[in-house]
Amino acid sequence: MTIKFEKIQSGMVLWDVKKSTGLDRFRSKYSCWPVYVKEVDSEERRVLISWNSNPVRWSPEHNVTKFRIKRPEER
């Protein structure tokens, strides 16, 4: 389930979930990465996020609302 922008708070951990393809499909149905929310700018509707040990960057609302609150369960 995706998240609404109003519910995002700094310090949250969200999940970027994509369907696995190729040989990864045999290990797991989904590929998941944790997304760390550093700051929320509600005036400009953007979020300062970091994932996969990448530097933090601002992401607009339409990209952030695709993330999930919980990690999907494995098969």
CA distance 38 to 59: 11
pLDDT of residue 69: 92
Pure H helices in the chain: 24-27, 61-64
pLDDT of residue 21: 84
Angle at 56 between CA 18 and CA 10, to 5 degrees: 85
Please write the tens of the pLDDT for every residue from 26-36: 777 888 899 99
CA distance 45 to 60: 6
CA distance 17 to 29: 10
pLDDT category at 74 given cuts 50, 70, 90 is low
Taking the model in full, what pTM does it have? Answer: 0.83
Output the average pLDDT for the chain.
Answer: 89
Domain spans of the chain, in order of start: 5-64
